[in-house]
Amino acid sequence: MHMKHALIAVLLFAAALVNPVAEAETMAYPTRDAPSFLIDYPASWEMTPGEELGDYTSLLGTSGTGLMFRTVTADDVQQAIKDTIEYVYENYTDVQLSEPTKQEHRGLQGFFIRGTATDSESGPMRLGMAWYRLNDGSIGEIWFSAPQDDAEGIEEAGKILESFRAPE
């Protein structure tokens, strides 16, 4: 009987070691050869790359939670922030955004804005936007939107966002 339990424990441990690697993808933006940043995401999320440098690369979870990533130049960051906030107010109702909050993430300096809003099709939404100065001098921009009731997608998005990093 103990042998059976030991075998099950070994198999579960091996699955825990192998499973995250087998189910994860790594995105290098803008290219794998010259990345400004990297993120890891579940293979179940649909990735749509941008067509040109500066275009958003998007990730869409299975229940509607989405993330978009891109870089902008330091000279363009103020316009990018303005455009993002205008987009929120033009496309959502009942918008509530926080004041910008400074943050250090994996050694990168930046800030984020959190909020809630209502989408005409999806209903209540959670929103987030962040900008971080990257090692190559560009600014990494992150956009997060999720239906309020997509707990699994929001949790997965949090793990993806936690993986956001500059290349070594």
User: What domains can you pick out in the chain, each with its CATH number?
Assistant: 23-163 (3.40.1000.10)
| Count of helix runs (H) and strand runs (E) in the chain | 3, 10
pLDDT tens digits, 84-129: 999 999 999 999 999 999 999 999 999 999 999 999 999 999 999 9
pLDDT (tens digit per residue) in 15-30: 333 344 337 899 999 9
Higher pLDDT, 152 or 6: 152
pTM score: 0.83
Contact status, residue 130 vs residue 141, Cβ threshold 8 Å: yes
Beta carbons of 59 and 44 less than 8 angstroms apart: no
Calpha distance 156→168 (Å, rounded): 24
Q: Answer whether the bond into residue 30 is a cis peptide, omega within 30°.
A: yes
